[in-house]
Amino acid sequence: AAAGGGWAAVCEKFRTARTLSAVESRKDPETEPYRSKYSARALLQEVKQLLSAAEEGGEARLGGGREAGPHRLSPDCVSLYIQAQNNLGILWSERDEIKTAQTYLESAEALYNQYMKEDGNPPLDPSEHFLAEKEKLTDQERSRRFEKAYTHTLYYLAQVYQHLEMIEKAAQYCHTTLKRQLEYCGYYPVEWALNAATLSQYYLSKQCFMESRHCLAAASVIFSQAGQVPSAEDNETEQDQQDLRQRKAEIARCWIKYCLNLLQSARKLLEDNIGELDPDRQLELKAQRKKEEDEKEKGRKKAVLFGTSDICDSVLAMEEKVSSVYPLDFQEAREIFLVGQNYVQEAKEFFQVDGYVTDHIEIVQDHSALFKVLAFFEEDYERRCKMHKRRIDMLEPIYADLNPQYYLLISRQLQFELADTYYEMMDLKVAIGNRLEELDSHTIKKINSLAQLAIKYYELFLDSLRNPDKVFPEELEEDVLRPAMVAKFHIARLYGKLITSDSKKQLENMQTSLEYYAFLVDYCEKYPDAVRAVETELELSKEMVGLLPTRMERLRAKLCPFI
């Protein structure tokens, strides 16, 4: 190929191949889906032959100063090498050869870092090798494309590390990718927002609430751009709108988890050994927080900020709507609870029972969990009871409509949660009753009613573990061992709480209670591995198995003093 006309022909073939592959292939008939791709491949093979012939013929330059085989760190080739390694990384990933993909992608990352250290000037974009001098890109555009290729390297590496279960490294690379996408304006708002919301859940698992909130605030801000950015085809379909609504609801669910986790973590810090709020610990933590808060926020903020100044302002405004520090009293907890509750409503708008049964129930369970953790911060027992009643009101109708045959796992979860909620309400009513000089008939009726309902749901849960012949399993599966033992323990305790003036009935209740306590003791003797799952309950059960027979003897003696 002569340096002039020959080079022009090479460039023309290359451009035609690109058009065939990127544009014409979309119009290929279903009967020949790769027709244009095959034509493009044939042209590129011709280009390759022409270039090889020119190289063998000793032409060191092809069309305006192109070296035939430059070093991979030269500005002419570095971007091409990185993009080739990115593509090889993708290909090997798709073949499930993740380690091979990792090698290519880490090599691309190292090459970028080395080039930036040794040269740093905007390198040639691969497409420029076949452009006339006047069509060459500006340095600014070259730089943008080069940085975009490197952002892709990091994006693919994040996924590779995720596959290899190098979770911390995956999160770090995901965060850097998101940051760079904003910096270089190379992102789709919905995809970016979902990735940021997903990253927030990683930070949540590490109890990094400030970082988690920052990712969620950024996700919400960037997602709001989705409606403003015109799509490729401006005529958005109903399906597109539906997808947007779903993604918005998914981000709302991430916010719910954030609020719930923050409240639950605060509860763990504040609770005493019987699960109540420890006032001394509360005062200690309040004093400690005042001292630490300012320095901590300033230091960590620098590391996580996303985006340009206008985006940062919107993100900061979003962050100010909800705290990222542990709530230490009811008022602070309530503010976080209300934010979570708003997102519950937003998520439920899309995930409705009709069509999204599982998602809808999970959101309602999270709503219930928000009430449960808020009740921990409430000092007034009557108001606490009302919060648990709200949980009952939202869970019972859902449970009633659920077919356990199709939704066994969810059905069990609801049975257990309803039982636990009634159990907690019964305990509160007993505590309220203990403050009275004398228990009135209304309180007695209420305590008994709550205890019976708790027993009913615990029994339903235990019945769900029986086989088709209604036989309770000899040995419990690992995943239901603790819930089943706790249910047995709570039923034993509930029978002991039932109030009756009928001594015969009282004796029957004590006998039932003893049987349930004995079940725990006997089971743990038979299967010693079960002990670690129910250490506290087992200790108390052994105590009760020792005490109850004596109490029952005394009661029998009162009933029949002459026997």
Structural tokens at position 451: 């205890």
Helices (H), 119-207: 139-163, 167-183, 189-205
- Cα–Cα distance for residue pair 59/7, rounded to 1 Å: 11
Q: Are 254 and 200 in contact (CB under 8 A)?
A: yes
End-to-end CA distance of the chain: 120
Instruction: Dump pLDDT digits (tens) for 116-168.
Output: 999 999 999 998 888 878 888 999 999 999 999 999 999 999 999 999 999 99
Q: What is the pTM of this model?
A: 0.84
Decide: 93 and 101 in contact? Cβ < 8 Å: yes
- Share the mean pLDDT of the chain: 90
The highest-confidence range among 17-21, 242-246, 252-256, 280-284, by mean pLDDT, is: 252-256
The string of pLDDT tens digits covering residues 207-219 is 999 999 999 999 9
Q: How many CB atoms lie within 10 A of CB 208?
A: 18
Given a cut of 60, is residue 79 above it in pLDDT? yes
- Compute and round to an integer the Cα radius of gyration of the chain: 33
Q: Which amino acid, 56?
A: E
Domains and CATH numbers, the chain: 3-54+71-187 (1.25.40.10), 381-454 (no CATH), 473-562 (1.20.58)
* Residue 1 pLDDT > 50: no
pLDDT for 297: 59
Structure tokens at 561: 């003093």
pLDDT in tens, 455-481: 999 999 999 999 999 999 999 999 999
pLDDT over 90 at 296, yes or no: no
**pLDDT reading at 2 higher than 60:** no
Residue bearing tokens 């209420």: 446
Poorest-pLDDT segment among 117-131, 198-212, 282-296, 390-404: 282-296
Residues 42-71: pLDDT tens digits? 999 988 888 888 777 655 444 444 443 387
Contact (CB, 8 A) for 379 and 387: no
Structure tokens at 396: 């019972």
